């Protein structure tokens, strides 16, 4: 429906958002979930405030940098991040509205609540570092392709990567099914080909076929 150039343009927009999110990731949401103790009543509100305060300047920065990104990735002005920002804002609003225990929203004139989340900061630093490492490992190649070759080639690269992943998944599922069949027919197969005297080797054969699949 979109074609390589349009897919490349969308990829650049999503790539810009991913880079901004990774570099500014506070890790607080993950830290709250993985914490040893359940958060107090005020802590989710403080985390929500922190994440909202982070998201607003990121959105404004992405909109301001959209002309620069458009020129750097050879998009000829086709990159508009406003729709993406609006969709993220809508997703955030719907997420808050559908939560069973919604974090409290404080009016601006009452001040921003930052207290109560200091215990999560130390753990969140490791999450930020992990986000940056994942960004370098999983997104840097797309930055290079988009910068050097343009949106059409980036779109082709994205689609090729997805198709390769699909083929690898299909091959892995096929191999797993083949291994399971071998494990199921191992006993009658040994009896038919080698004889009943070799049946004690069936458990070892079942282990070896799993090792064969993992090596492949």
pLDDT digits (tens, 9 = 90+) for 182-216: 889 988 888 888 888 888 888 888 888 888 777 66
Span 147-171, mean pLDDT? 81
State CA 121 to chain mean position distance. 22
Neighbours of 70 (CB within 10 A): 20
DSSP structure string for the chain = --HHHHHHHHHHHHHHHHHHHHHT---HHHHHHH-SS---SSHHHHHHHHHHHHHHHHHHHHHHHHHHHHHHTT-TT----HHHHHHHHHHHHHHHHH-SSPPP---GGG----TT-HHHHHHHHHHHHHHHHHHHHHHHHHHHHHHHH-HHHHHHHHHHHHHHHHHHHHHHHHHHHHHHHHHHHHHHHHHHHT-GGGGGGHHHHHHHHHHHHHH-
**Element of type H or E holding 166:** helix 151-193
Domain boundaries, the chain: 3-149, 167-215
Helices 43-72 and 3-23, packing angle to 10 deg: 140
| Per-residue pLDDT tens digits for 42-77 | 777 777 777 777 888 888 888 888 888 888 787 776
Residue 53: C-alpha distances to residues 49, 89, 95, 97, 107 (Å): 6, 13, 16, 18, 13
pLDDT number for residue 216: 61
pLDDT number for residue 152: 80
Span 80-101, mean pLDDT? 78
Q: For the whole model, what pTM was predicted?
A: 0.59
Report d(CA 15, CA 22) in Å as an integer. Answer: 10
Report d(CA 28, CA 44) in Å as an integer. Answer: 10
Per-residue pLDDT for 108 more than 50?
no
């Amino acid at each position: 429906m979109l074609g390589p150039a349009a897919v490349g343009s969308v990829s650049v927009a999503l790539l810009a958002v991913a880079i901004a999110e990774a570099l500014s990731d506070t890790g607080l949401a993950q830290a709250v979930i993985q914490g040893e103790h359940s958060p107090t009543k005020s802590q989710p509100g403080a985390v929500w405030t922190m994440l909202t305060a982070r998201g607003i300047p990121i959105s404004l920065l992405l909109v301001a940098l959209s002309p620069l990104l458009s020129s750097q990735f050879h998009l000829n002005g086709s990159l508009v991040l406003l729709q993406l920002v609006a969709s993220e804002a809508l997703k955030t609003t719907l997420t808050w509205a559908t939560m069973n225990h919604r974090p409290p929203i404080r009016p601006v004139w009452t001040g921003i609540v930052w207290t109560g989340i200091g215990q999560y900061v130390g753990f969140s630093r490791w999450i930020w570092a992990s986000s940056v490492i994942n960004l370098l490992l999983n997104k840097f190649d797309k930055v290079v392709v988009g910068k050097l070759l343009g949106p059409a080639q980036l779109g082709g690269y994205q689609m090729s990567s997805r198709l390769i992943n699909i083929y690898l998944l299909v091959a892995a599922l096929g191999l797993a099914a083949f291994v399971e069949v071998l494990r199921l027919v191992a006993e009658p197969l040994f009896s038919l080909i080698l004889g009943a005297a070799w049946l004690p080797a069936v458990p070892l054969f079942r282990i070896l076929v799993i090792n064969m699949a993992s090596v492949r």
